[in-house]
Amino acid sequence: MMKNNYVPMSTQPLLSATGLCKTFGGVKAVQHAGIEVATGSITGLIGPNGAGKTTFFNLLSNFIRPDSGQIQLNGRDIHTMQPHQIARLGMVRTFQVAKALSRMSVMENMLLGAKGHAGEKIWEVLLQPKLVQSQQRELKDKAMSILTSVGLSAKANDYAGGLSGGQRKLLEIGRALMADPQLILLDEPAAGVNPRLIEDICGHILKWRKDGLTFLIIEHNMDVIMTLCDRVWVLAEGTNLVDGTPNTVQNDSRVIEAYLGID
C-alpha cells in the first residue's frame, strides 16, 4: 500500500465539534462527544458496533440535529445550517448508491453531486438556455475527468446498479468531489469491497489528500485506518474514549477492552 506522508498545514482545525449529544427515545446514541479534524489530514473515527459513529457523522453534517453541542467548520458555527449550506462551505459526505440511484447511469449519479449550477430551476432553462447548456457541458466534462481518474470512464453510461462494491464506493466519492469540497466525510469506504480494490481506494484517497483535500473516515477495517489515518478518534457508548496516532490507539488497553467487551 502507498505510504502516508502527512504534513500538518495549520493549527486551527478545519472541523471541530464539542459536547455533541443525541438521544433517540431512551437511547443515548451520542453523549458529549467531540472531534477535531486538522486541515489536510486524514482523520479516522472508529469504535465498536453501536458506538454512535454513524449518528455522530449525521450530527456533524446536520442530517440530524444535535440535542446540544457545537460544530465549527473553518471557525464558523454550522450546527444550525442545512446540509446544502454546509456543502457550500466545503464539507460534504458520501452517500451510498441507493436503490433509486442504481437505476440511473453513473454519469447521472455524478451530475447529482454538482452544486448550485444553472439549470436547477425551470426559469433558468427557459431564460438562459445557452448558459444552462454550456454549464451542463462543463459539468459533464468535469464528471468525466473525475471518472477517468478513478478508472470508471468506460462505465459512464452504465447503470450504477451494475457496478461492483468497490466501484460504487469510488462513484460515491467521485460524486462528492463534484461539489469541490474541502472536507469529505466518508462512511466505511472499504465495506463490501474486495481487497485489491480496497488498496486502489486507499491510493486514491492519499492522492486526493496530497492535492489538498481533508478526510474524516469511519472504518471498521483496521488495515485501512492504519494505512490512511494521521489521527484516530475512538468512540465507545456514544462518547470519546481515546484519540491519537493509529499506533497509539491500536495498542491502548481501553480500546482493546471496548472492542472485546461489546463485539
Ligand X SMILES: Nc1ncnc2c1ncn2[C@@H]1O[C@H](COP(=O)(O)OP(=O)(O)OP(=O)(O)O)[C@@H](O)[C@H]1O
| Residue among 60 and 106 whose Cβ is closer to ligand X | 60
User: Which grid cell is 32?
Assistant: 458529549
CB of 216 to ligand X, least distance (A): 14
Q: How many CB atoms lie within 10 A of CB 239?
A: 18
CB of 45 to ligand X, least distance (A): 9
Give the CA distances from residue 132 to residues 29, 126, 127, 138, in Å, rounded to whole numbers and listed in that order.
44, 9, 9, 10
| Residue among 51 and 179 whose Cβ is closer to ligand X | 51
Number of residues that bind ligand X (CB under 6 A): 11
**44 forms bridges with which residues in the sheet?**
217, 232
| Residue among 53 and 231 whose Cβ is closer to ligand X | 53
Q: Is 66 in the site for ligand X (CB under 6 A)?
A: no
CB of 99 to ligand X, least distance (A): 20
CA 68 – CA 59 distance, rounded (Å): 10
| Residue among 52 and 174 whose Cβ is closer to ligand X | 52
CA 5 – CA 46 distance, rounded (Å): 21
CB of 230 to ligand X, least distance (A): 21
Binding mask 19-58 for ligand X (x = CB under 6 A): -----x--x-x-----------------x-xxxxxxx---
| Residue among 6 and 63 whose Cβ is closer to ligand X | 63
Binding mask 175-204 for ligand X (x = CB under 6 A): ------------------------------
CB of 87 to ligand X, least distance (A): 22
CB of 37 to ligand X, least distance (A): 18
| Residue among 41 and 55 whose Cβ is closer to ligand X | 55
Residue-level length of the chain: 263
C-beta separation of 171 from 95 below 8 A: no
- What is the 3 state secondary structure string of 148-179? HHCCCHHHCCCEHHHCCHHHHHHHHHHHHHCC
CA 151 – CA 73 distance, rounded (Å): 32
C-beta separation of 173 from 109 below 8 A: no
Q: How many CB atoms lie within 10 A of CB 22?
A: 22
List residues near ligand X by CB under 6 A: 24, 27, 29, 47, 49-55
